[in-house]
Amino acid sequence: METISENACFGGVQGVYSHRSDSCDCDMTFGLFLPEEAQHGPVPVLWFLSGLTCTHENAMVKAAAQGWAAEQGIALIFPDTSPRGEGVADDEAFDLGQGAGFYVNATQKPWAPHFQMYDYITKDLTDLVFEKFPLDASRQAITGHSMGGHGALTIAMREAGRFASVSAFSPICNPTGSDWGRKQFEAYLGSDKAKWVGHDASLLMADRGFDGPILIDTGTKDQFIDLLKPETLAQAAAAKRQQIIFRMQPGYDHSYFFVSTFMEDHISFHAEALYA
């Protein structure tokens, strides 16, 4: 692991690090905020998965998360959204290829050699951060924005028992029923739609649900709301009788202005579960 930068931040340290990922077969970069309490022992962790076109840096800089995390003594992990670098497949479209990993393990060419983002998040990066930093693996929560909200919800439901809570800002809720999902799933996973089901938050909710609290925020003026399909997740959660707070925020769009506005709510929500 290589340290790219470390800066004092709200009494703690905001670091950026790179490392070799076995799953993605390339170098990957991530951000990690450690609160002051980490100087004295392991602290709970909140993962933040970012959306289309983002790197580790977008949420790290724009989400206004570190101050609220410092108040609660919680670490923040900001992974990248895809493999990158020479020899890594890409596409001219913003919603496929580099910056658009969709948190799945690709099985199709030319994506399969590097686009193993599910394993990267749940195994490679997980193993690294808990080995190298004072983090408490028994107290983890996860959140994300847009494509990252999709990732947070699907990973939380698939990795049963790992996360105390999950939240999402304007998540892609039903990718198998949306152009933000069908295109990418066919490219990464192939045409067999049965292989898509395990990466659709609404279908996973109907099938499994989540053993813990969920918080969802989406703006009523989100310019991508027809692609996000929040109603599908709300309906599935209601049918499952899932413990969930589902909010449509009047006047808000898809931007980081929206994310930063409600970040305090989300971190407080996760703190309650992490310290329960």
SS (H, E, C) 1-18: CEEEEEEEECCEEEEEEE
Instruction: Determine how β-strand 244-249 pairs with β-strand 26-34.
Output: unpaired
Which token pair is 39? 């100087």
- Is residue 226 flagged as an active site residue? no
- C-alpha to C-alpha distance for 270 and 142, rounded to whole angstroms: 8
Residues 56, 114, 145, 254: which is the catalytic one? 254
Peptide bond into 213 cis (omega under 30): no
Which phi and psi angles does 101 have, rounded to 5°? -75, -20
Residues 146, 165, 167, 178: which is the catalytic one? 146
- Is residue 170 flagged as an active site residue? no
Is residue 141 helix, strand or coil? strand
Contact between residue 104 and residue 118 where contact means Cβ atoms under 8 Å apart? yes
Contact between residue 60 and residue 152 where contact means Cβ atoms under 8 Å apart? no
- Is residue 146 flagged as an active site residue? yes
Which token pair is 276? 């329960």
**232-242 as b/e: b if 16+ CB within 10 A:** bbbbbbeeeeb
Residues 80, 150, 222, 266: which is the catalytic one? 222
Is residue 112 helix, strand or coil? coil
- C-alpha to C-alpha distance for 100 and 128, rounded to whole angstroms: 23
Active site residues: 146, 222, 254
